[in-house]
Every structure is written in structure tokens, then in C-alpha cells.
A and B are shown apart, each in its own frame.
Chain A
Amino acid sequence: MKNIFKITYLTILLLATTYQVKAEEKVELLKTDWSFKGLFGKFDRGSLQRGYQVYTEVCASCHSMKYLSYRNLSEKGGPEFSIEQAKAIAASFEITDGPNNDGEMFQRPGKLSDRFVKPYENVKEAQAANGGAYPPDMSVLAKARSGGVDYIYSVLLGYEDPPSGIILDDGVYYNKYMYGNNIKMSQPLYDGSVEYSDGTVATEEQMAKDVATFLMWTAEPHLEARHKMGFKAILYLIILTILVYFSMRKIWSRIESKV
């Protein structure tokens, strides 16, 4: 058994170093309590729905979400809007479809199977409209930045006046947490930017947290299923390991040797 402890020890050591290597990269990010962290972590439905509202009303005017479809909004483990709500959300967008039998493109209301409508036709158009900066697609953004949701949350709340001596170009803003401190997105969230239908007070922190939660879900839509299955799988493995351990002891007891 002594060796097993050694093995475990080494594994933990490896894990610890990995975490350390990751942690050393940036300035201390703002922390908040995420409901989806931990062994049993789940999304807060209300937060996801509010986050979707912040996304559509604020972010979506510049940021696309190309890997998501309206059907995802009603799927299990997500914001879990009812099918009717999701259909109504989809229908509130105009989709260009076609060509029809006359060879013409036409407009129709969105359906559940449609991908989220993009704010710009292409990258060039997006850049032209945003002073040369391309607002990144938000589908996997929460996984595409080191620091993940903490980073997104921090950047949203990290706007401040530049320290004296730093002169910023037009259309460039100072952000404490942004890599290089320069960001081309103006501060997107102010207290009361949106009006939550569930009565939650739309403070800056609240909106940042909600939209970051929403982005975590869009990046990792099966997170809840993963946590749930992980617990079961690991429990199963632990029980099986214990059974196999005793079987092993029994088998090896036939001979004069230690396992």
C-alpha cells in the first residue's frame, strides 16, 4: 500500500504544479461565487435567463454567437426556457432564408432550429463598424480566455480612468484586467442597463455575473450532465476499486507474498 500513497502523492504534485503554472499568468482576477463550480455545480436557471437577456440586449449588437441555436435555449441544463418561450424568442428575429423557387432570398421569422442571428455579415464588416477591432464570437469565449468566467467577469467590471501618464487613443479604453490594459470595447454595462423581468436589481455586478454565467453555459452546454455523470462514474470506480482490492488480497493470500 505504501507505493499507492507514493503514486497518489506524485499525481497530486503534478496537479499542483499545473495549477500553479496556470495561476502565475495574470493579475489577481475578481472573484465571485459561481454556482456551477465544484463537484455538484449546477447553473442557476434564473441567472442564465437573465444572462441571456443581457446578451441579447447589450452584447449581441456586436458579438455573434455562431455555434448556438434557439433550440438550445429550451434544452436541459441550459436556461431552460419553455418550448413556447424559446419559439417566441426565435420568432422575434428576422432570418434571411432561401433561395426560394424563384431563386430569391426572403425574410421569415426565426425558428428553433435557426442559429443565433449574427450582428454582422462577416469579419470585415464587424471590424469596419468597430474601429478595426473584431468583437470575438462569444460561443466558446469562456473557455478561450485564461481565467475563464472570472476573467470575463473582471473585464466587465474592470473599466476605470487610465492612470496619469497613460494617454489613450480615440476609441480605446482603459481596463484593469484586459491583457495589455487597452480595450476597444467601451464599458458595456452600467447600473440599470437592462430591466430584469424577474425583479432582480440590475446592478453592474449582477449583470456581469449573469452574463458570465450565460457565457459559461454557451461554452460548455453539457456542464451539468458532465458533473452529474462524473460523480456517478467516480463513485462507481471507487466502489469497484475497493471490491477489486479485497479480491486481490484474497487471491494473493494463496501464496506467501505481499501484494
Chain B
Amino acid sequence: MSNHEYVPKSKFGKWFNDRLPLLTLGNHLADYPTPKNLNYWWTFGGILTFCLITQIVTGLTLAMHYIAHADLAFESVEHIMRDVNYGWLIRYIHSNGASMFFLAVYIHIFRSLFYGSYKSPREIIWIIGIMIYLLMMAAAFMGYVLPWGQMSFWGATVITNLFSAIPFVGEGIVQWLWGGYSVDNPTLTRFFTLHYLIPFLILGLVVLHIWALHVPGNNNPVGIDIKKPSKDTVPFHPYIVIKDGFALLMFMIVFAFFVFYSPNILGHADNYIEANPMVTPAHIVPEWYLLPFYAILRSIPDKLMGVVAMLSAILILAALPWLDTSKIRSAVFRPLYKQFYWILVADVIILGYVGAMPAEGLYLLVARVATAYYFIHFLIILPVLGFKEKTMPLPLSITEPVLESSLGSSTIKKESLN
């Protein structure tokens, strides 16, 4: 934020801005002081905004041609793929866009975990982020149901049935969700309505997420508080805009490869078979981005406890700012945490892998161990680590990165600035 009060140059601008300070907001966004040491892992916020907008725009276009009816949905998707001008392009961007969105959000979340961005004073940003993530999962799940293929239908059946684990009222809730006694047309129409609604809720939360970010300002790879604005910061425009733009373009190249050259690789072949309540697919698997949680769900023998474990795995993240007792944010200065961080990354990847495999034999065993470790990481390792870990000395500012000195005094090394 610039110190001086912003005054629009033109007379009309001033007249308008006095009544609705949009120009002041624009000026704030452009001048927003950003730490200049942000690395490329920080560009995923911008990338995610792009993903959301892309999903909304392509989604609106698809909704103009899609028919939310159990008898017509599959055919209307084929109509989009065959007869709508560039319908195939719009649909493939939308379906692969969901995967790209999750790829970006996982990088964004793991960046936050590595650099401790969830810690004071950024807890609210983090919690809003978790809410966005939950809504993303809901939107993605319901979106996957809309083409009304076999995986759509059976995925919807499996996931909605989870609610039946709730004691006493479970069955009633499931029927209420379905709008009947099985997944059918009423389920499809309500999923479509909600799938259309949720992105706009996400958009609202994204505004809050950014608003909450602009109060304390960005965390940075060194993880120390910095003065804003100062020689440690650069104005958002043009420095961060161009850097985010560059990263976004790189991301779009990967995105384009999926859309144009393997548009169906991330989906499941069974979803090109029209939904058939009489035939159950051999393996019902969710989309890749939900697999770690699916693995946690299946690793618990009891249905109710499985659902509780799966939900806890997500909700535990909201408590993370208080579970992590270390005052040091960045893993760069936490040698032990850094190692546990990478073990967690591996653990989640393993969970994703076994989530795609049948829940039996060795896979089930691995899933159980990985599930246990996931919770141990958050509930035991993180709280204890904050007290036990011997952290490295922090630099005084981001322009004076700490060097080999073990006495805690920081040395300035001119070369490192270039």
C-alpha cells in the first residue's frame, strides 16, 4: 500500500472515485508491496485464479448446450463433442481444467506447508483456502457426475452412500440427497444446479482470500516479517504481474498438451459408457485428485469411522496453524521439519497410488500405514517438533540471507543479490 493517499488524475475519475473508490482499489492492487524474493512456487495463486476463470467461462458455454436429464445428459455431451462448434475444445478444456486446477491447488497448498504460510498472522487466509479446497472437491465431484457415464453414476452412488454411515438419520439423509430411492434424474438435476452455483461461491471466497492476504501481505521463502513497502518489496505491477504471467504461460503449455494430445488420459474409459444402474463397473475409482482421501476412507474397516477419518484428514488442515507449534515459518530454517515435510509429500503420493488400486492385500496394508502416518504427522510430529527442533538462525532481512555463520550473526554477501 502506498503511503500517500491516491488521487485520480482526471476530473471524472476523481468524481467517480469519491463515490465508489474502485480506482483506489486498482491502485492498491497495482502498488501492493510484494516481497521480492518470492520464488516460482508463489506464482500458483495467479495460476489458480486463471483456472477458476477458465472453468467458469468454459462451464457457462457448456451449460448452454448440456441437458441435465438422465435420459439426455450423455447424448447432449456427445452433441457438444460432435456438433457444437469447437464444443470438443471447450469440453476438453473444462474436463482437463479440473485436473489442472487441482494440480495447481496441491502445489499451492504444499508451498504453504513448506514455507509455513499458514502461521500467524495468516491463519484466516489459510482457513478460507481450506474452505475453497472443500468447495472445489464438491464442485469437481458433482461435475464428474454430469456426463452421466458409468463412473458418474457409480461414483455418485458410492459417495452419496457415505452419508448413510451417519447413525440414525443416515438413510434419511441419503434419500434426501438423492431426491428418491437411488441416484436418478432428481439427483442429476440438483447436482447440476449445485455444480453451477459452487464456482461463484468459490469466486467470493477467493476475493476474501486475497483480501485477507493483503492485510499482512505475502509470506516469503525466508519466512520472516518484512517492512512494507521497503527495499525488500517490489510493487505488484509490473514485477509480479510479469512473473506470474510467465509462470502462467508455462503452466498453459502443460495444460495445452493435455487438452490437445491426451484429453482423456486423466479420465476413466468407463465414463464413455452411458450410465446403467443394472451394471456395476469392475473398479469404481474417483478422479485422481480425490484418490488420497479415497485411500484413507477405504483403509478403515468400519464405514462410519472411514468417513470420519476421510473428513478429518481434510479438516485437520484447518487446525494446522495451532498444531504446528514452531514459531519459525520457513522450512529452510527447520532442518528436521524439512525432512518430515518431504516424508508427508511422499505419504500423500503413496495414498493417491493405493487409492487407485483395489483395496486388498499389500495395497490395503500400505494404505493403512500411510493413513496412520498422515495423522501422526499432523497430530504428533508437528506439535512436538515445535518444541524439540533446533532451528537455524534467521536472517535479519530477506536481502541479507543468512550464511554459514552458526553464531546467528548474518553476513551480507553482495553476489547473492544478483
Contacts and interface: CB of A to CB of B under 8 A. Distances in A.
A247 to B, nearest CB: 6
Contact of B82 (A14, A67, A237): A67
A259 B243 contact: yes
Interface string A219-233: 101100111011101
Interface stretch (B21-29, B258-266, B362-370): B258-266
Where chain B touches its partner, the secondary structure class is: helix
Interface string A174-198: 0000010000000000000000000
A238 B234 CA distance: 27
A72 B245 CA distance: 41
Contact of A7 (B92, B250, B257, B261): B250
A175 B69 CA distance: 37
Secondary structure of the A contact surface, majority rule: helix
B265 A257 contact: no
Interface in B254-284: 254, 256-257, 259-261, 263-266, 269-270, 272-273, 282
B249 A19 contact: no
A248 B243 contact: yes
A146 to B, nearest CB: 4
B417 A256 contact: yes
A230 B261 contact: yes
Interface in A195-241: 219, 221-222, 225-227, 229-231, 233-234, 237-238, 240-241
Contacts of B234: 255, 257
B256 A237 contact: yes
A4 interface: yes
Contacts of B88: 222, 225-226
B265 A22 contact: yes
Nearest to A221: B82
Contacts of B200: none
B400 interface: no
Contacts of A3: 39-41
Interface in A30-84: 39, 67, 72
Nearest to A250: B242
Contacts of A18: 265-266, 288
B242 A247 contact: yes
A256 B400 CA distance: 13
A154 B75 CA distance: 28
A82 B351 CA distance: 54
A237 B269 contact: no
A251 B36 contact: no
Given A252-B239, A255-B36, A256-B417, A233 B250 contact: no
A140 interface: yes
Interface in B50-91: 75, 78, 81-82, 88-89
Contact of A241 (B243, B249, B264, B270): B249
Interface residues of B, number: 46
A179 B282 CA distance: 10
Nearest to B245: A244
A230 B273 contact: no
B253 interface: yes
Contacts of A128: none
Contact of B356 (A21, A67, A136, A245): A21
A234 B246 CA distance: 15
Contacts of B353: 17, 21
Nearest to A7: B40
A219 B250 CA distance: 30
Interface residues of A, number: 50
Contacts of A259: 243
A17 B259 CA distance: 18
Contacts of A231: 260
A234 B256 contact: yes
Contact of B78 (A67, A146, A227): A67
A72 to B, nearest CB: 8
A107 to B, nearest CB: 25
Nearest to A139: B78
B418 interface: yes
B239 A140 contact: no
Contacts of A257: 36-37, 234, 417
B174 to A, nearest CB: 29
B252 interface: yes
Contacts of B158: none
B249 A244 contact: yes
B37 A248 contact: no
A226 B75 contact: no
Interface in A7-21: 7-8, 10-11, 14, 17-19, 21
A222 to B, nearest CB: 5
B36 A4 contact: no
Contact of B75 (A14, A67, A148, A245): A67
A118 interface: no
A143 B245 contact: no
B260 A229 contact: yes
B346 to A, nearest CB: 12
Contact of A244 (B82, B107, B242, B266): B242
A17 B349 CA distance: 10
B103 interface: yes
B253 A241 contact: yes
Contacts of A7: 40, 250
Contacts of B356: 21
Interface in B271-327: 272-273, 282, 288
B238 interface: yes
Contacts of A256: 417-418
Most A CB within 10 A of own CB, among B234, B242, B245: B242
A143 B75 contact: no
5 contacts: A143-B269, A143-B272, A221-B81, A226-B88, A229-B89
Given A21-B356, A241-B246, 10 more contacts: A3-B39, A18-B265, A136-B273, A146-B269, A226-B260, A226-B263, A234-B253, A237-B256, A252-B239, A259-B243
Which 9 A-B residue pairings sit nearest by Cβ, starting from the closest? A230-B260, A144-B272, A3-B40, A241-B249, A146-B269, A143-B272, A257-B36, A248-B242, A140-B272
